[in-house]
Structure 1
Amino acid sequence: MYEIMTADEAIRLIRDGDCICVNSFVGIENPIELHEAIYRRYQKMQSPTHLTMISSAGFGVWDDEHNAEGYIREGAVDKLICGHFGAMLSTKKLVLEDRFEAYNLPLGCISHAIRAQAGGLPGALSKVGLDIFVDPRKEGPGINRISIDDSLVRHVEVDGEEFLYYKLPKINIALIKGTAADRKGNITFDDMFMSGDALSICQAVKANRGKVIVQVDRLVDTPSRPRNAIIPGCLVDAIVVAEPEARNEAYTALTGSFEIPYEEWNTWSERLDSVSVKQSKNSTVANIIGKRASKELRVDDIVNIGIGIPEMVSRFARKSGMLDMVTLTVESGGIGGFPVSGQAFGAMIGAASVYDMANQFDLYDNGGLDVCFMGALEVDKDGNVNAHRGPGAFAGIGGFANITAKTPTVVFCFSFTAKGLEVSQKKGIVEIEKEGSISKFVDRVKSISFSARRAIANGQKVLYVTERCVFRLTPKGLKLIEVYPGIDVQKDILDLLPFEVEV
């Protein structure tokens, strides 16, 4: 039977050495008050300590002084297992200093491993991750020198087919954020942007005889409608009521509390842009890439668009009218609306459906998308892509590996060079005014996020769209298939590549 508690009371349920699973998505829907209570207790008692923390998509809030950053920084955590670390500003720096063990697994594979544990299985099989960095035959999931746990990912063979087997430590504490708890303890997510892995996490924790702690905005007397109760009260141990921070009215567009027709998506997106810190997307380079990449969309496509330069695809799809003829998706579980970026990444404007994250990755892993548009840090001569780890920095693979593993058409959107690149376009003529000092094309990528060999074996169509040309993946490597007007093939492309390509 659940109890209503303060955050400080609820956190006493956590013991040293516990394995905590946090339901969140990058920077949204974090149970912030629960994290703050852990930090208060740790500062006072140096407990709980030796914690293992698991989250499919990470649990930061883009602020290194809030959420879990404090107690992680001061030593409460021994091991982190996350799909993405982007919103965990100080934590991702400490990882590279070998302060604690840290592992990066594909977001969807963590989600599926949590669901497997909920069903009494020790782990989950997946073809996602084969031949990329997480594959133990390559690098394995460890991010730093002390992360040597080889039990998290294993290469196995079943009925003559190869898979990766993802196995998480047994989860015995759940930290969840919901909207409301009714008098039976049922938890609804009405004002939330997503439900993520919430139900699977709770089921896994109860199977492991652990404790489920849920932070909600309010208590309600009226029982929830059965289909709206994401977490049944019988799975909940502690409910903490924490009045939510005031949100800008623009964020009301993301809860699904009222209908937002297609014609209003852009208006709401602009309102969100004005209150969310994000990179400007109005550069000439991004415009050229987005416009060309958007031509790969077809009527009735089911689509995923990555953050950064790929977001420009949606801008040009809207201009052409194609955006209203495709279905967009986002990793957190949204389908049929318009994904937002910036600090609210994971939410959707006008979503038709938002279901559990594991279900979304069922769709992705089995080739349910028609086309995806992703960014890239590096591309090598074979067509392999590094999108998760730069020099001295990393954000993590997130859903990238799941999305690109089996999607029939994969379009990488990135500039040919970086750091100082200046490009102009007049009347369709592209001119490289100043070349960037860092080439995105390398002889061998530092770490593999996308395996060209695997894509060829799968029969996927793979394009690499830049601001000056387009390459296509072939069994022999990259093939130059388009050069934009104004671009000198030899000087602006071939002379800058560290390898030969078919033209």
Structure 2
Amino acid sequence: MPKKVVSPRDAAALIHSGDTVTTSGFVGAGVPDGLLKAVADRFEATGEPRDLTLIFAAGQGDGKGRGLDRLCAPGLVARVIGGHWGLIPALGARAVRGEIAGWNFPQGVISHLYRDIAAGKPGTLTHVGLETFVDPRLGGGRISDAATDELVQLTTIDGTERLFYRAMPIHVALLRGSTADERGNVTMEREALILDNLAQAMAARNSGGVVIVQVDQIVAGGSLCARDVVIPGALVDAVVVAPPELHPQTYATQYNRYFTGRFRAPQDGTTPLPLDIRKVIARRCAFELPIGGVVNLGIGMPEGVASIAAEEGLLDHVTLTAEPGVIGGQPASGLDFGAAINTEAIIAQNQQFDFYDGGGLDMACLGMAEADRHGNVNVSRFGTRLAGAGGFINISQNARRLVFAGTFTAGGLDIAIGDGRLKIRTEGRAQKFIQTVQQITFSGSRARKLQRPVMFVTERCVFELHHDGLRLTEIAPGIDPDRDVLPLMGFAPLMDRPARMDPRIFRDQPMGLRDQMLDIPLGRRVHFDAGRDMLFINLSRMTIRDADDVASVRRAVEAEIGGLGRRVDVVVNYDLTRIDDRVSHDWSEMVGDLETRLYGRVTRYSSSAFLRRRLGETLQACRRPTIYDSEAAARAALRDN
């Protein structure tokens, strides 16, 4: 076998001028910092390699020179196609000034592009990016006029618009693992994430390129467990051992055993967040968590929702995820973002985006820098400051329910919180709800067409996206909308009679969300909305065990609409409902009786495909047993019929 363990200098010499290079990493996790430093050192010493094309899916840096900013020297990189740019300000500034040709594509698209390049496909075909700045009609993801190539095309298949992202050969993959044997097999047992390492290695190998992997230790050939190998040695050309300072687990943590997924942290060690503006916003967002559902939490303000879920005892009742591949547990924050403790699984990043893009998320909570009257959101570009979209476009376009989180104004905002109220001590200097956003990272019009529920949560008020614009729906106690909200917006929102935000949000004590969400009395589960002339029945997480439970639901429905003297339309939430087999016939007969006497049109929904099938069998005797996969689909069915 050829010797694959080489010095950093020899590894960097494998990269030629003009090569297309891809790198692994997410924020501060899994970044091959030793290899990046070796490339930069060689360029400084010799002027080679030059004019590289760099491709990366997730941002890799700490904002202070590590990560991809090591490649910012003039002449080293000529073209960059990247997902998130906020943590590599030096390279981003060069792209904005047009000194390099730069594109910003959705993180998940680039992640999938690796697989398509490996498979010899011409590119990636997807709906992700439509009606955002990545759409060729809105700029094609170009960062400046220096980016002249058409890398994304608008196409139509069977009458449906799609975007096609062109593939390109990858000449060098700079990757990272934990342990390599002398044959080049690589494991990742001490890494926080798996990322796209295997797909990137295959893409480079099948492009005729080279694969270089940074690790922190070498073992004898053939001594690694085959099931632990993430990158097979047959794909690896060179291995470099990096010193600890160039191989931290993340840019915030040298090593945390809980990030590996091999150990679990004690559950009683959670320290509650201080009651500040971030906690207020995170608390209000936590009210939207779908019990039993799968959720993505974005970087920044939404990170606090994980801490609130832990404080309120909800982590066992909702599955939190992050786009680089963690499922379950509690996501980390800051430069640890992307890692998590007490995870249920850690999968490849491209597989996570398969799940996201296909509509697997029940809810996403994402940051919000700017929003306009149409419900468009910008998180990616602010004048000469380039943040980049990261996974935001994939997630926001495809989650079944979307919550944007952010302060109402920015720049010097200071508030007082206590006794169930909020007071503005110093107002922020910059408006965030403006007439038109600078760049469309999320399209409000597309969300309306797809009938996706969208909410905007701030410390002082809440908005919802309606078919005719943003509607002000909630106001914090102590806030006067005529003083603290409306004059500070670039447009007039729709407004009727906003409700008061829950005062528990503004008190320094637990809110009791677990009991509220899990132990819902039957009287609160059945509600007739007179304004919509519609009955809503929430059976989520309810167990129907015996005939008494069946009779209780019947009585609750009759009490709500039995005296109206007419039929009403009904929407029933069966999410995670359990109906004991012994009473399934009784349940079917009860539902059939209500349909005969009291119901007009009926739609039902559950996010569980298994439950939809079981309920379909149970409700065969009913006139309309169709069960949809979301509340939006169930309501749409009522409108269409």
Q: 2:434 aligns with which of 433, 442, 449?
A: 442
Count of residues in correspondence between the two structures: 488
- Greater shift in the superposed pair: 422-431 or 225-234: 422-431
The 1-side partners of 2:255 and 2:206 are apart by: 40
> Is the CA contact 2:377–2:437 (under 8 Å) kept in the aligned structure 1?
yes
Paired letter, 1:448: I
The 1-side partners of 2:426 and 2:37 are apart by: 48
Matched, 1:148 2:144: no
Aligned-pair distance for 1:436? 1.4
The 2-side partners of 1:435 and 1:259 are apart by: 43
Deviation by residue 1:123-146 (Cα, 9 ceiling, x = unmatched): 111111100111110122111231
Partner of 1:252: 257
Q: How does 1:100-115 map to 2 (within 5 A)?
A: 100-115=100-115
> Is the CA contact 1:73–1:94 (under 8 Å) kept in the aligned structure 2?
no
Deviation by residue 1:424-446 (Cα, 9 ceiling, x = unmatched): 22311222222212111111100
Secondary structure of the residue aligned to 2:302 is: helix
Secondary structure of the residue aligned to 1:194 is: coil
Q: How does 1:335-484 map to 2 (within 5 A)?
A: 335-484=327-476
Partner of 1:215: 214
Aligned-pair distance for 1:282? 4.6
Partner of 1:276: none
> Is the CA contact 1:142–1:149 (under 8 Å) kept in the aligned structure 2?
no
The 2-side partners of 1:58 and 1:79 are apart by: 16
> Is the CA contact 1:297–1:322 (under 8 Å) kept in the aligned structure 2?
no
Paired letter, 2:233: G
> Is the CA contact 1:408–1:459 (under 8 Å) kept in the aligned structure 2?
no
Percent identity reads 39
Deviation by residue 1:327-367 (Cα, 9 ceiling, x = unmatched): 11111111112111112221111222111100000111111
Secondary structure of the residue aligned to 1:480 is: strand
Partner of 1:205: 204
Gaps of 5+ in 2: 496-641
Change (3 A) 1:178 1:453: same
Partner of 1:240: 240
Aligned-pair distance for 1:59? 2.9
Q: 2:477 aligns with which of 485, 488, 495?
A: 485
Partner of 2:18: 17
Aligned-pair distance for 1:415? 1.2
> Is the CA contact 2:95–2:144 (under 8 Å) kept in the aligned structure 1?
yes
Partner of 1:226: 226
Matched, 1:184 2:189: no
Secondary structure of the residue aligned to 2:446 is: helix
Q: How does 1:303-314 map to 2 (within 5 A)?
A: 303-314=295-306
Deviation by residue 1:380-407 (Cα, 9 ceiling, x = unmatched): 0011100112232122100111111111
Aligned-pair distance for 1:67? 4.3
Matched, 1:495 2:487: yes
> Is the CA contact 1:377–1:385 (under 8 Å) kept in the aligned structure 2?
yes
Query: Aligned Cα RMSD in Å?
Result: 1.9
- TM-score by structure 1 length? 0.93
- Greater shift in the superposed pair: 165-174 or 377-386: 165-174
Matched, 1:33 2:34: yes
Aligned-pair distance for 1:70? 4.0
The 2-side partners of 1:140 and 1:63 are apart by: 29
- TM-score by structure 2 length? 0.73
> Is the CA contact 1:218–1:243 (under 8 Å) kept in the aligned structure 2?
no
Aligned-pair distance for 1:307? 2.0
The 2-side partners of 1:184 and 1:445 are apart by: 52
Partner of 1:273: none
Higher-Rg structure is: 2
The 2-side partners of 1:283 and 1:122 are apart by: 52
Paired letter, 1:475: H
The 2-side partners of 1:445 and 1:346 are apart by: 28
Secondary structure of the residue aligned to 1:459 is: coil
Aligned-pair distance for 1:185? 2.0
Change (3 A) 1:67 1:460: closer
Aligned-pair distance for 1:496? 2.5
Change (3 A) 1:14 1:304: same
The 2-side partners of 1:336 and 1:320 are apart by: 16
Deviation by residue 1:246-278 (Cα, 9 ceiling, x = unmatched): 8667623212232235444x36xx9xxxxxxxx
Secondary structure of the residue aligned to 2:356 is: helix
Partner of 2:156: 157
> Is the CA contact 1:72–1:91 (under 8 Å) kept in the aligned structure 2?
yes
The 1-side partners of 2:68 and 2:476 are apart by: 47
> Is the CA contact 1:376–1:412 (under 8 Å) kept in the aligned structure 2?
yes
The 2-side partners of 1:132 and 1:261 are apart by: 42
Aligned-pair distance for 1:495? 2.7
Aligned-pair distance for 1:320? 2.1
Deviation by residue 1:146-168 (Cα, 9 ceiling, x = unmatched): 12221x21111112211111124
